[in-house]
Structure 1
Amino acid sequence: MLKPRIIVSLLLDGQGLVKTKKFKDARYIGDPINAVKIFNEKEVDELCIFDISASTKNYEPNYKLINSIASQSRMPICYGGGIKNADQAQKILNLGVEKVAISSAIFSEPNIIQSIAGNIGSQSVVAVLDVKKNIFGNYNIYINNGKKYIEQDLFSLLKNLEKRGVGEIIINNIDLDGTGKGYDIKLVEKVSENLSIPLTILGGAGSLEDIKKLFNNFEIIGAAAGSLFVFKGKYQAVLINYPEKTIKKTLYANTR
């Protein structure tokens, strides 16, 4: 049986880690290898690493860095950024990564999901959808770090991705990225109704209470956060943190 997960989301830009706010103003927060070593000690459920420059600059995945991260990690890793075909996905999994995340290539390479899923299995294929609410209250899809609008209906796309072989969906709310205002509960409700595969929500977590609320109210598999686990305090000093085992148990206590 699948269990809920508290997931750390990290952004790679070149060789370093950064954190954004509403997909802008990237702030350098440190070395990825050092971060992985610290999160190892904290026994993180899962680590998502997204290379935010690979797709926008048309780079290949940085296999050398991915290998260094995977070789140091004692937690499951999902990697996304620059993946355009099944061979690249297989190469990344061969380095010790558990799952690959696809975003921009969903739209530029129509058969990529079927191709990768057929090669490595649906359980290792994650679709990442970055969304933003429009003036009518509907959710628009964006790629290339929120710079390019995709004219597709979010909920029709979710069903289509599931049919094509995606094993998990990550919904990332651009409006809430780095704000700490809490997850978009209405969005979670709508997405949950349209999916029968695992769902992870990213964007907005400002406290462990936000994660607890998510687990208490939805059949959520993953509650992901970035700022919550790399910043501390009013002035957002860089300090890697993660809930201890006893605290995690209280967050999981009332999951459905």
Structure 2
Amino acid sequence: MTRFNGCIDLHHGKVKQIVGGSLLDSSPEKLTTNFVSNRETPSFYSKLYKENQVSRCHVIKLGPNNDEAAKEALAAWPGGLQVGGGITLDNAQKWLSLGASKVIVTSYLFPDAKFSLQRLNDLCELVGKEKLVVDVSCRKKNDKWIVAMDKWQTMTDMEVNKDSLDMLSRYCSEFLIHAADVEGLCKGIDEQLVERLGQWVTIPTTYAGGGRSMEDLKLVDELSHGKVDLTFGSALDIFGGNGVAFDECVEWNSTHA
């Protein structure tokens, strides 16, 4: 069954919800932000997820100046949160030692936007397959989904399809997939992508992007035949949204275990 998984997105040390396609370091004035938590700290969300047994939550560092906030989130729930954003061979073990349950990697696997199997293998050997999540977040191009890196701004040479996911799954234990074109818009999920993922994935997979109501949990469950989980961001009431109540998500998980 499809489950609700939690997220904590960090931008310049604050918990934020951002329209994914607007995240440009070169043009910060174009950044579209749906929510900034000026009251609650990253640890507040960690504790909230922990207390409500929302598993497989991820902390994503969107750009620089987020390490201390990420450490705070991990310290509030040691072993309960995955962490991603700038993960490399040099720092992966550090984040695991700081309490991350798993590390999430994307951009490091694509030097010059070209996939490196060597880097994936090296990272897998270092931390172990069970501690590694590959973020195959993507954007649509000519009716195909292409992995996007560098905060979803750079298209790589990898198409998201059954062959690529089968290959990647030999080196990791989970996928995280942001549909960057609809991320943060609250205008509905990429139904076609979710349906395809249900046909393609063989390991636990969390989809993010466009979720706007509890109906989307039902829709993801139906389209993926229960093989893909969903995370809500901007629509969730704990992030200032009005489309989805956190308590309803917790109840969904408890009744669809």
State TM-score, norm by structure 2.
0.80
Residue in 1 aligned with 2:25?
Answer: none
User: Which residue, out of 227, 230, 253, partners 1:248?
Assistant: 253
TM-superposed deviation, 1:16: 0.9
TM-superposed deviation, 1:84: 1.4
Task: Map 1:153-164 onto structure 2 (within 5 A).
Answer: 153-155=159-161, 156-163=163-170
Task: Map 1:105-254 onto structure 2 (within 5 A).
Answer: 105-108=108-111, 110=116, 111-134=118-141, 136-155=142-161, 156-163=163-170, 165-217=171-223, 218-229=225-236, 230-233=239-242, 241-243=246-248, 245-250=250-255, 252=256
TM-superposed deviation, 1:177: 0.8
- SS of 1:83's partner is coil
Q: List structure 1 segments (4+ residues) > 6 angstroms apart after TM superposition.
A: none
Structure-1 separation of matches of 2:233 and 2:249: 17
| Closer, same or farther: CA 138–84 of 1 in aligned 2, 3 Å | same
| Closer, same or farther: CA 195–75 of 1 in aligned 2, 3 Å | same
Q: Which runs of 5+ in 1 are unaligned?
A: none
- The question of 1:37 aligning with 2:40 is answered no
TM-superposed deviation, 1:74: 6.7
Deviations 1:195-221 (A, max 9, x none): 322221111111112112212442325
Residue in 2 aligned with 1:92?
Answer: 95
Residue in 2 aligned with 1:77?
Answer: 81
TM-superposed deviation, 1:92: 0.9
TM-superposed deviation, 1:233: 2.6
Structure-2 separation of matches of 1:32 and 1:117: 28
State TM-score, norm by structure 1.
0.80
- Paired residue type of 2:17: K
- SS of 2:5's partner is strand
Deviations 1:191-247 (A, max 9, x none): 33333222211111111121122124423252122113312338xxxx983436544
Structure-2 separation of matches of 1:106 and 1:93: 19
**Contact 1:44/1:75 (CA < 8 Å) preserved in 2?**
no
User: Which residue, out of 37, 55, 60, partners 1:50?
Assistant: 60
TM-superposed deviation, 1:144: 1.0
Question: Alpha carbon RMSD of aligned pairs, Å?
Answer: 2.7
Q: Which runs of 5+ in 2 are unaligned?
A: 23-31
| Closer, same or farther: CA 216–81 of 1 in aligned 2, 3 Å | same
**Percent of aligned pairs with the same residue?**
21
User: Which residue, out of 67, 70, 75, partners 2:71?
Assistant: 67
| Closer, same or farther: CA 244–129 of 1 in aligned 2, 3 Å | closer
Structure-1 separation of matches of 2:79 and 2:87: 22
**Contact 1:44/1:242 (CA < 8 Å) preserved in 2?**
no
